[in-house]
Chain A
Amino acid sequence: MPFMHNGLRASARAAAACIPSARGLTACVLVAACLLGTGAAAAADVFYGADAAWFRDDNVAKAQAHTDILADSGLAAAGSVGLVLSARERDSFALGAELRTRQYRRFHGLDMTGLGANLSYRMKFGLGAYAPRAAVSFAAGPERYGDGLRNGWRSRLALELGRRLNDRWDISGGYGVDRFDADNVPPPLPRFGRDVYSLQGRSLFARAEYTFNERWLALLHLNFRRGDVLSSSRPSVPVFLASSDIAPDAAFGGSYFAYKLAGRTASARLGASYALSPHSSLNVDLTREVTASEGPLGYRSTLGNATFVYSY
């Protein structure tokens, strides 16, 4: 029964193949950034921002069995800077770089520091705040983890369409392809790969924001992802049989293994944002994630965040 979801995985991989090489595209982004930045620096508007968050994940290993579920919390921070280049009246390019980190209280193998470059193209179909808009964005960069095993390059390509309906409602939705290429892949076992940390998938997402007043805003973000899932747990026959790749996972102690499964993940993020100033806000959100894999396999997790955001 292993590879029962090979069709699912194959389709996800076909979609993710739209991202041919994270490193190659990152290089393209950087070259484009340099060219556009040099050529249009005079017409560029600079943006920068930072955020700091406390988070808690009640199933950080993404395990199914109750005895394998582990919770953890930690702190995250990010800083970004970039340029917006308005090519014409109704469209613009944004080039940016981001440095982010995520530090766990217990499982330091998951501690992550990442550097990312991103390029996006935004277009408005008309004039004014209520004109429909579209954006294509690509982001990629290396991530370094505490356990070293998870090191790799993450990349994401997304297309988003949106529209502000009125002063209260803003809606958007889109399609995204994500990919993570692990740096260190141990030699494969017979019949099983060990490239467990290399993942790819594709997503459909929808977002709605509702403004209560000048300060308060609520948001709902729905995401449906189909593709590889990384789950860590103690050895389990059903998980073992359903997995394509398996490797020991030192981040949760010697008894845990990381399994790569094909699955469908639905997540809903509900949040509220309070504007402290025109440039800063306090945000709280809760994300409920449900993943279904082969047969009865699957997991549920809830992630909470409290985030301070500043941008200019």
Chain B
Amino acid sequence: MPPLFTAIERLTTAYATARLAAAGLLALLALTLGAASTAARAADLRVLVKDAAGRPVEDAVVVAVGANVPAAAVQAARGNEIIDQIDAEFVPRVKPIMVGSSVMFPNKDNVRHQVYSFSPAKVFELPLYAGTPARPVLFDKAGVVVLGCNIHDWMVGYVYVSESPWFVKTGADGSAVLRGLPPQRYGVRAWHPRLQGDESTTREDADLQGESTAALSFTLRLRPDVRIRRAPVAGSHSHY
């Protein structure tokens, strides 16, 4: 092959490679700029929940309600959730979900359970079973659903069915972060299984327009922690 043709072929190859690289760079740039733009629009809301004595409250659910709810946010929040039964307890004990989500209740114990709820937001009963039930339970109405087991009276769990896609549950330190909130005004409220009074009384307003981060704190009045005791009592022979 004459050297001229070889040189032309090399130049052509180099040009094609350069074009490909340039296209890749442009795409990367576009993605970066897009993400940066989205990040600029969305905000994080840090929440802290304490009790009246100033102690952090674990397992509190914080919900942010805004006027504009993008369909993508609803799609992202709605899903198939799981509440296990381990050592005759619901795990997790408090589970926030988006309305329209389904929950499976796998029994990981070697004893059978009979999960039920009388709550207006969802009345259901799973007949005595071991293993994983065939079908999940659909939670199609917002509200608090209290779970129980008809065999083990001490078993209590809570499904918080949120009408908003923006919700979070606090950790042991009482804090949590609601991430990726679109810039708008929100009504934010907190709920806990031992909350005294109505959840709506906890409402705080948060304006996230033009803000990338914000913080809210809640002080909840809680009832004493009285549950049906699981531990045995001397002289009581009540197996189940």
Contacts and interface: CB of A to CB of B under 8 A. Distances in A.
Contacts of B111: 45-46
Interface string B219-240: 0000011111111111111011
Nearest to A51: B234
B140 interface: no
A128 interface: yes
A221 B235 contact: yes
Contacts of A90: 150
Interface stretch (B10-18, B22-30, B65-73, B112-120): B112-120
B153 to A, nearest CB: 4
Interface in A276-312: 276-281, 283, 285, 305, 307, 309-311
A86 B116 contact: no
A217 B228 contact: no
B124 to A, nearest CB: 11
A84 B109 CA distance: 15
B89 to A, nearest CB: 8
Contacts of A207: 236
A311 B236 CA distance: 11
Chain B, interface size category, equals 20 to 34
Contacts of A309: 232-234
Contacts of A271: 234-235
Contacts of B114: 89
A305 B234 contact: yes
B148 A167 contact: no
A307 B112 CA distance: 30
Main secondary structure on A side of the interface with B: strand
B151 interface: yes
A271 B125 CA distance: 36
Contacts of B127: 89
A53 B239 contact: no
A213 B224 contact: yes
A163 to B, nearest CB: 12
Contacts of B151: 86, 92
Contacts of B214: none
A214 B235 contact: no
B128 interface: yes
B110 to A, nearest CB: 8
A269 B230 CA distance: 21
Given A89-B128, A128-B150, A279 B232 contact: yes
A89 B179 CA distance: 44
A94 interface: yes
Contacts of A211: 226-229
Interface string B122-138: 00010110000000000
A127 interface: yes
Nearest to A83: B239
A96 B118 contact: no
A43 interface: yes
A94 B239 contact: yes
B234 A283 contact: yes
A273 B234 contact: yes
B227 A278 contact: no
A280 B231 contact: yes
A168 B232 contact: no
B224 A127 contact: no
Interface in A161-216: 164, 167-168, 207, 209, 211-215
Contacts of B233: 209, 217, 219, 273, 281, 283, 309
Interface of A: 43, 45-47, 49, 51, 53, 82, 84, 86, 89-90, 92, 94, 96, 118, 122, 124, 127-129, 137, 164, 167-168, 207, 209, 211-215, 217, 219, 221, 269, 271, 273, 275-281, 283, 285, 305, 307, 309-311
Please name the 8 residue pairs, one residue from A and one from B, whose CB atoms are nearest each other, closest first: A275-B231, A283-B234, A129-B153, A45-B111, A307-B234, A311-B232, A281-B231, A278-B230
